[in-house]
Every structure is written in structure tokens, then in C-alpha cells.
Structure 1
Amino acid sequence: MERHLTGRHALVTGAGRGIGAAIARRLAAEGARLTLLGRTRAPLDALAEEIGASVLQADVTDDAAFARVFAAAGPVDVLVNNAGAAATAPFVRTDRALWDSMLAVNLTSVFTGCKLALPGMVERGWGRIVTVASTAGLRGYAYCAAYAAAKHGVIGLTRTLALETARAGVTVNAVCPGFADTGMTAESLDRIQAKTGRTRDEAVAELTKSNPQGRLVRPEEVADAVAWLCGPAAASITGQAIAVAGGEVM
């Protein structure tokens, strides 16, 4: 198999589990040299040993810490903004603290990562930025106003940066998973069960009812989309928000 990212340095935020870990494995299989960034060291170290990657520990909502570890990583050719969090509440019970925390991790950290990565990419004439957004950035969902607003913001930022870098050899895209088979979704299922008394299967059915395929998205499916966007076959794909959601968004 041709390894399209041999010689490229990829940095993945939120790389310790779920979609981030799947993306790191997939990019490593494409030959990229990986730097894994996250808040919790143990899962990062375990994955790094598996795929032969470097590890940096930082909270992406801490601008100074993010900038410090980014500089330590060296020039980045591929940036995958995957770090994120989801908290739910009816809008009338969404306070400023919840709003600020969702925008900080899901939107402002993407702004910071792009600010750190783009100058070097433009200078070198090649770069790939892919942000893991959500179908919540393409449509509305009840009870997640802050999260949906942040993900809509990510897609607006993606489209703007794509236009600004279109002649610089850089592409900027987003992938938008539906509900995926990850730890974050497992936490959502736990909340549904606790609040409603439903069984696990009933809770899964509730989350997947908007997916025409009737299932959770596999992290590896998202990783495949990211790898394609980083490869030569997608050189003319920029400014896109690609749903990986079984036909939920068309």
C-alpha cells in the first residue's frame, strides 16, 4: 500500500481515545510521523507505544500551554483538531459557565491550533488542517445549544480559512460525525438511561434514530475520511464539511 503521508508530521489533539486515537492510527498507517496531544498522559503513552508516536500533554483551552507544546513538537504539516467535549442542557438552563466551556474546547481551541499551524504551512507551501466537527454543526439538536453553536462556528472558521489559503498549498476541511461508538457517546447513553430508565438498547435506539443506517458511526470510518482529506487525492477539496453519519445529513 502506498503511504501517502511519509515524511509528513501530523499532530492530533484529543488523541488519547475514540475518534482521535483512530485518526492517529490511520495517519500512522499512511506513513505520517505522529505527535499525540491530550490532557491525560496514560492513554497517550499507550497509543504512542503502539504506533511509534511522540506525546505532548496539555489542555488545548490553555493558550499558553498549547503554544508551548506546539513549539516543542516542531513544524506541523497536518493538524487534526479533534479535542472536544459535549455537555447538554435545555437552553433556559444553559448558564454562562457551560456556554463558555463548550466554546473554549470546541471552537476557540481550533482557532488557537490554526493560528499556530497555518503560518508554517503557508511558508512551506503545503499543509492539511482537518477539524472533527459534528452533525451538530450542520443542523440543530435540542438541548445542546452551546455545543451546536461551537460546532457551527468551527465550520464557518473552516470555510473562511479555506478561502484565505486556497492558493498557498493548504487545504482546510471538517468532518462531521453523527453519534459515534466512542466513550463520549457512552457517557451520553449513561445519562439517557439514568434520566429515563431506558435499557441500554433503548438508549442506543434513541441516539441512532436519526441515522438512516440505524447504527453508531465507527471511529475508523471517521479516520478514513480524515486520511483521505490529508492525501493527494483530495488536493482540490477544501472548505468542506463532510458528514460521516449514515445519511443523516444530505
Structure 2
Amino acid sequence: MDNINAQPQPRRARTPWQVTRSVWYAMFMREAISRTMADRMGWFWMVFEPVALVGIMVGIRSFVSGDQLIANAPFIPWMIAGMMGFFLVREGMMRGMGAVEGNKALFAYRQVQPVDPVLVRNFLEGMLRSFVFLIFIVGGLMLGLDMYPDNALRAMGAWLSLWCLGIGLGLVTSVASALVPEVGKIIRMLSLPLLIISGVLLPLNSLPHWVLKYLMLNPIPHGLETLRLGFFENYHVVNGTSMLYFWLFTFSLIALGLLMHLRFIDRLKAQ
């Protein structure tokens, strides 16, 4: 009789953090399946792109003697570390641009905000790029390359720093490209020049000082040089490298991106 008269206990309301965590988990699984299984060649291209670029640069090296321009660091591992760090930032920026448009249908649920797919995509991209980088490190060690970091903590810190920079760029570009589609086209056009001026393929130390001081306004070389210093203890970083400047720039980007998402949230949902 007591069981019949007993009233059902009201279900406890979930906290905002529990709701957000559930949304992020569901979106992460959705993005992970789409990213890794929708295209049978997806994993191949993630590994082949940097491998092909390394092969091309090694072929060119015999003509330009690029290995002689780098102090206290072997050329191929130096370039691999730079490329993987740059791709981490670039993909965070690129993936962020399509995050809002690619998840419009989910905005019908009030729990899902436009900033959620941007953060989830960047987190997933960072995990995938970290896994690919580990493949390069293990493969390089098996081939006899000096790919073992001399200072693992510094290398990991620089890698996470570049990951955060990619998140900041993704937050900003996701709003800008959704509101003004032409911005996305311009950013895609600038990705190749950005690769060159970030010191990924050739050392910036060989450039004149008056050019270098302008190129170092770009935060990417600061992170890449610190990442390389983590791999090669005696490596001579580019003059003016500062992680303080890097983090001030990164925090400013993240704050700007979050403010843009907050300011234009209604327009992003209505796009």
C-alpha cells in the first residue's frame, strides 16, 4: 500500500555545466565520426600532406643548402616540428570558419550555442594533430632522425600554446566568415603566405633585422621557435622570440572571439 501511495521523486535539474558537457560530448562524437570515417582517405591525407611537403623541401635543400642555415638543429626534424606546429594553428583557424555553418540545424536546440561547434572542432583537430605528430616522432626515431625532445615539458607547453592560438583564431574567423563570407575566402588565400612568413620552411634569422621586426609581429613564429627549442636544447631561436607576447596575443584573440560570439549570437543562429 505504501508503494502505491508513494509519489515519484522529482527529477533533479541538471546544472549548466552538466548540460554544456553533454552537448560537447555529443558534438564531439558527431564530429569525430564525420572527420575520421566520412572520408576513407582522411587519415592518409592528414599524414601525407606534411610528408609530401618534407619530401619536396628535402629535394630543394640540395640546391639551397638549407641545412647549413640552422644553428644547432638538424634540418629535417627542425622543419617537421615547424610544419606540425603551423598546421595545428592553421587547421584550428580553418575548421573554425565552417563550424557555425556546418551545425546550423543544431541551433534549434536551445542548449546548443554557436560557440560550441567551434570549440569542439578545435579540440578534435588538436587531438588528431597531436596523434599525427606522435607518428612523425616515432617514425623519425625509427629512421634515425633526432626527433626526441631535449626538453619535453617545454615542447609540450609550446604545442599546447599553439593549440590555444588556433582556438583563438577559430573563434574570431568563425564569426567573421559567417557574417561576411568573403572574409573566409581571403583567409584561405592568406594561408600559404602565412606559411612562408612564419619561418616554417626557412629560418627567419637569415633575414635583415628591419624585415624581421615586422615579421615577428606575427605570433606564430614565437610559438614555433619555442617548440623547436624544446626539441633542440642548443638551438638559437629567432631574435625577439617572446612567449609573453605570444600569450598576450592569444588571450586577446580568445577574448575577442568570445565577445564576438556573444555580441552576434542571434545573427549567427539566424544565418
- Do they superpose with TM above 0.5? no
Structure scoring higher RCO (CA < 8 A, sep ≥ 6) equals 2
TM-score normalised over the length of structure 2 = 0.27
Kindly indicate which of the two structures has a greater share of residues assigned to helix: 2
Structure with higher Rg: it is 2
